[in-house]
Amino acid sequence: MRTMRSPQRERTNEQWLAELRSESADGETVEALREHLRSGLTRALRPQADVSDADLDDFTQDATVRVLSQLASFRGESRFTTWAMAIGIRVAYTTLRRRRWGDRSLEDLGIDADASAAPAGARSARPGAAADRSDLFQALRASIDSDLTPRQRAAVLGELAGMPSAVLAAQLQTNANALYKLNHDARLRLRDALHRRGFSESDVRTFLLEASRG
């Protein structure tokens, strides 16, 4: 026998919070949250060919648990449902990225997080070179080799290779926030290094303009 599903009741943020805090895991509001996450994740993951219905069920379940565990961090800046969906999407994509990446390590990519820096100038661009794309790339490669710490280099190269941040953080024995800071510091250092190698911000903008024209 098919069960008729009652239409979703509109709730304010305060009602969501109060009802979710007072309910058991099989309560009506938890079920409404689960349905909201399931339908949103279905739309969100539409372009992903490798997501099955079973995956959607798993993501929905994990996302529901995560949202319920983070109710205290909801500040009311947005609709509760949008906030919960953002958490659900983070849960789903973190799992998908790990699955797609498999068990490849930094070592498999030829990245050594302990390697010392190459001597400066080992791959130097022409000093004072014009903002030619090849020169810019050459200078950037040289800066990655010689101007970053080993961990900064591993963070930048790992991200460029598409390694998921959760996997990269684990490989570098750190957490997501520290990894972001490592990468941010590396980008600031690379930008300074490019300036020292004769590439101004205007050169970079010229490159971007050319790249946008194909």
Partner 1 sequence: MDPSREQLAALVRQLAVTAPEELDCETVLRHVAAYLEATHADAPVAPELAMIRQHLDVCPSCLEEFEALTRAVESD
* Residues of this chain that bind partner 1 (CB under 8 A): 40-41, 43-46, 73, 75, 77-79, 81-83, 85-90, 92-93, 97, 109-111, 136-137, 140-141, 144, 156-157, 160-161, 164-165, 176-177, 180-181, 184, 187-188, 190-191, 194, 201, 204-205, 207-208, 211
The CB-of-116 to partner 1 minimum distance in angstroms stands at: 16
Q: Which is nearer to partner 1, 29 or 179 (CB)?
A: 179
The CB-of-25 to partner 1 minimum distance in angstroms stands at: 23
Contact between 102 and 161 (Cβ < 8 Å): no
Q: What is the dihedral of CA 73, 78, 82, 85, to 10 degrees?
A: -20
Q: How far apart are CA 157 and CA 145, in angstroms?
A: 10
The CB-of-24 to partner 1 minimum distance in angstroms stands at: 26
The CB-of-195 to partner 1 minimum distance in angstroms stands at: 10
Q: How far apart are CA 138 and CA 103, in angstroms?
A: 31
Q: Which residue has the tokens 């849960």?
A: 91
Q: Which is nearer to partner 1, 30 or 109 (CB)?
A: 109
Q: Which is nearer to partner 1, 24 or 177 (CB)?
A: 177
The CB-of-201 to partner 1 minimum distance in angstroms stands at: 8
Q: Which is nearer to partner 1, 65 or 188 (CB)?
A: 188
Q: Which helix (H) or strand (E) holds 211?
A: helix 201-212
Q: How far apart are CA 69 and CA 182, in angstroms?
A: 28
Angle (CA) 166-193-172 rounded to 5° is: 20
Q: Which is nearer to partner 1, 8 or 25 (CB)?
A: 8
Contact between 88 and 59 (Cβ < 8 Å): yes
Q: Which is nearer to partner 1, 120 or 188 (CB)?
A: 188
> Based on C-alpha coordinates, what's the Rg of the chain?
23
Three-state SS for 213? coil
The CB-of-1 to partner 1 minimum distance in angstroms stands at: 29
